[in-house]
Amino acid sequence: MAKGRVSIVVERCKACGFCVEFCPTHVLALSSAFNSKGYHPPHVVHPEKCSGCDLCGMYCPDFAICATKVTPTGGGDK
């Protein structure tokens, strides 16, 4: 079971790709979908690999993504 869960605010994204590039476990990829600004936000392609480290959240220039640790009961630890 995944240790973390990614949350994405697609409308804030400008598709810089930092989160995709820097995710240590390669959870993310840019999607083919558009947001209303015409960018391709990331989507989760390997949810089971997420460790919840939130490196994506620390890198994101636009606060458009964050990862949270998942507790054994399935909830985030926020």
Question: What residues line the site for other proteins (CB under 8 A)?
Answer: 21-22, 24, 53, 55, 58-59
Nearest CB to other proteins, comparing residues 33 and 58 = 58
Nearest CB to other proteins, comparing residues 21 and 62 = 21
Nearest CB to other proteins, comparing residues 13 and 56 = 56
Question: Min. distance of Cβ 33 from other proteins in angstroms?
Answer: 26
**Residues 6 or more apart in contact with residue 7 via CB below 8 angstroms:** 65, 66, 67, 68
Distance CA 74, CA 19 (A): 24
The amino acid sitting at 42 is P
